[in-house]
Structure 1
Amino acid sequence: VRERSILRQLAATAGEIADAAYNPLGRSAKAVLDDAEARVLHIAEQGARGQQYFQQIGTLLTRVVDRIETLYNRDDPSDVTGVPTGYADLDRMTSGMQEGDLIVVAGRPSMGKTALALNIGEHVALHAKLPVAVFSMEMGASQLALRMIGSVGKLDQHKLRTGRLGPDDWEKLASALGRLSEAPMLIDETPALNAIEVRSRARRLQKQYGKLGLVIVDYLQLMQATTTGENRATEISEISRSMKSLAKELKVPVMALSQLNRSLEQRPNKRPVMSDLRESGAIEQDADLILFIYRDEVYNDETQDKGVAEIIIGKQRNGPIGTIRLTFVGEHTRFENFAASGSYRSSRFSGSTT
């Protein structure tokens, strides 16, 4: 009965898609195609939710043991079992970014959310040689490219924006362009995408490249819900769940950026906590790893921690929570390993059940 219902929906949708193709009402072919793909994907998701995929525990145990043996027999034993971020202390605490994980990077404006995500994406593309998909709903693709040139080439962003490069800068620029031109970084600057659109475009890239190393979504609160919820918190919950589903389906880490509530700035200690996540507690539940960015110099001109960023691991489903330090080089919009590597504090094992 359920299969027939799905087939009826598919037939009806196919007819509507055909009508739209013959009478696009001023829309481009690409717009009609995107809408068609989103509608078919929506039906596929409904069908998948109605099925149950039980797996025998014996099969699962065999798979887990095979994984443990593979890690044990590696030629280069390491604590990093996922995709490395490029930050030694962060990788040491998280074991890298794991396939199927939803990673939330959260912070107030000017803390460097986009910079950190891009820096990690650069490392994945340049060093792991894995494709990175960036959905940028806030900044344009050219702006991100300029940021990446400054980060990879260690060039002053102001000089790049004004064209006032010195003699040594041109060599750095040429080197950065050479490295980035070969990097599999893919940027989609379409504003206000919904979860189905992000999912269908990521699927297309996965099919094209065979494997994605990382998907970056900048940022959650700028996405549109596929259905109108009771309030924005309900819509963000739907978006958050969809991003987790995307990570599981494609077996790729998805890094979603998120804003924090403004109210935290009224506190004496402005370091973020879980309750500061904006508009939805579902983000806290869906995320496997939550990273808060805190830079004291944003609030305190007299701080002794200028150029220091605290990356606070607020949640880690299968590992410890705590704080690591990175160096923030503002003129290059770049986070780097802290000079005294090993400067991290592990508070406790999260062991979250959510």
Structure 2
Amino acid sequence: MSETTLDTRTVPHDMDAEMAALGGMLLTPSAAADVAELLNAADFYRPAHQTIYRAAAALMDRGDPVDAISVNAELDKLGEINRVGGAPYLHTLAASIPTAANAAYYARIVADKALLRRLVETGTRVAQIGYTGEGEAAALVEDAQAEMMAITSGAEPEEDAFFRSFMPQVVAGIEDRANADTNLVGLPTGLNDLDELTRGFRPGQLITVGARPSLGKSTLALDMVRAASVNAEDPAPAAFFSLEMGRNELGERLLSAQARVAFTRIQAGTVDDADWARMAEAMPRINAAPVAVRDDVNDLRIIRSVCRRMKATTGLRLVVVDYLQLVETGERSENRQQDVSAVSGALKAMAKELGVTVIALSQLNRGPESRDDKKPRMSELRESGSIEQDSDMVILLHRDDFYDQESVRAGEADLFVVKHRNGPTATLTAAFQGHYARFMDMARG
């Protein structure tokens, strides 16, 4: 005997929270970025709110401002403005939130309600599978498990996932590179040999720079930022997360490298008039550089949030994390290897999501010190084998004179490009000018 019941309960939703989240998006760029990070159109219960969110998201994707006026114009262009309540309703949304700073809080309420709705819908389908009983019981359980997993997997393909939607962009990119005046197709690295090998660091790439402590990986990363964001004709907006070194010391190193003033003199305060003149000449370019330095963040979730907000507001093309093993996931875990794997995977995902280059610095274990030549190997990336899997490029830094002060290669550094997903591997040599806290191209000839 079967029993049929009719459930008249309203599915989970919070209309006030939906209005407040959308209202926050219309008030400030940072609130719009926060909401966009947490929600997609399908998370809204009211169809009109889904339409308004899509219009705001389309403006953000194009880099246009998001406010009541611009969203009204976008909806009008799409022929949707009257269906959502017109311009007055957009202004009602903007007035529905006490302060834009609370937008993320309301967005999380909307996201929770959307998840509960999906749970209700999936539970109904799973119950139907059980009631029909068509097929082997084990297979039905497997189908039910797949339904439950799909609640948060986002497995359904979007229209723009198919080749036909993005191959024109691929061809356009090839044409742009063929017609370019330079061999670079990505961000400059600051070293000509590395530029020739890589053709620049590209959006979506995770570049891992590994070395033993004190060999200069932070200096190398700062040189890459100088090349892409300080000295480039089109400076790339960048975020530098310095988890080990304070931003004042980072600034001193940058000034030493840029102005060619001995780092030890800057630290000791023994600079002379000529030093002051060179620093004064260097400061305008440094101050104009679109580089944000954060030495107060080590939580992965906050790093991602800061980057997403920068991408939506000021633009973002380059992210440096110094260094990977110091990033916390915010999850309780007794296995540090799993934590580091989660961090490297998340940084690669962020690079793809935001279309930025991520340079992650990584410690190496003590393996090099047990060998006579001290040269590093990719397997010695500390605490995770996932780093080499997630990375598009792995560069290992080595300086012979660090281990042997009498070395005939004093002042030289080896950059072992041991993984290069888009090209060949190689061993490159650069000059290490430790007194100026920088790496340079080797003199030719």
Aligned residues with identical type, % of pairs: 37
Shift of 1:57: 2.2
- Is residue 280 of structure 2 the alignment partner of residue 203 of structure 1? no
How far does the alpha carbon of each residue in 1:297-343 deviate from its partner, in whole angstroms, 9 at most, with x for none? 000111111110111101011111011111110011111111128xx
- Is residue 215 of structure 2 the alignment partner of residue 102 of structure 1? no
Residue identity in the other structure for 2:203: E
Alignment correspondent of 1:256: 360
Q: Is the 8 A contact 2:319 2:357 kept in 1?
A: yes
1:86/1:142 CA distance change after superposition, 3 Å:
same
- Is residue 275 of structure 2 the alignment partner of residue 165 of structure 1? no
How far apart, in 2, do the equivalents of 1:114 and 1:83 lie? 18
Q: Is the 8 A contact 2:317 2:355 kept in 1?
A: no
How far does the alpha carbon of each residue in 1:132-184 deviate from its partner, in whole angstroms, 9 at most, with x for none? 10011111111111111101001111111111112211111111222211111
Alignment correspondent of 2:174: 68
1:139/1:49 CA distance change after superposition, 3 Å:
farther
Larger Rg: 2
1:130 pairs with one of 236, 244, 247 = 236
- Is residue 249 of structure 2 the alignment partner of residue 143 of structure 1? yes
Aligned residues: 316
1:98/1:36 CA distance change after superposition, 3 Å:
same
Q: Is the 8 A contact 2:364 2:382 kept in 1?
A: yes
**Higher helix residue share:** 2
1:84/1:137 CA distance change after superposition, 3 Å:
same
How far does the alpha carbon of each residue in 1:41-75 deviate from its partner, in whole angstroms, 9 at most, with x for none? 9979998742443522233332221211122223x
How far apart, in 2, do the equivalents of 1:124 and 1:240 lie? 23
Runs of 4+ displaced beyond 2 Å: 4-8, 32-63
1:201/1:47 CA distance change after superposition, 3 Å:
farther
How far apart, in 1, do the equivalents of 2:322 and 2:282 lie? 23
Alignment correspondent of 1:83: 187
Q: Is the 8 A contact 2:263 2:437 kept in 1?
A: yes
How far apart, in 1, do the equivalents of 2:396 and 2:190 lie? 17
1:98/1:41 CA distance change after superposition, 3 Å:
farther
- TM-align CA RMSD: 3.1
How far apart, in 2, do the equivalents of 1:227 and 1:140 lie? 25
How far apart, in 1, do the equivalents of 2:247 and 2:170 lie? 40
How far apart, in 1, do the equivalents of 2:404 and 2:111 lie? 48
How far apart, in 2, do the equivalents of 1:114 and 1:228 lie? 28
Gaps of 5+ in 1: 15-31, 342-354
TM (normalized to structure 2)? 0.66
Q: Is the 8 A contact 1:296 1:306 kept in 2?
A: yes
Alignment correspondent of 1:280: 384
How far apart, in 1, do the equivalents of 2:443 and 2:345 lie? 37
Alignment correspondent of 2:420: 316
**Higher strand residue share:** 1
Alignment correspondent of 1:247: 351
TM (normalized to structure 1)? 0.82
Q: Secondary structure at the match of 2:213?
A: coil
How far does the alpha carbon of each residue in 1:192-226 deviate from its partner, in whole angstroms, 9 at most, with x for none? x22211000011111221x3121000111111123
Shift of 1:110: 1.3
Greater relative contact order (CA < 8 Å, ≥ 6 in sequence)? 1
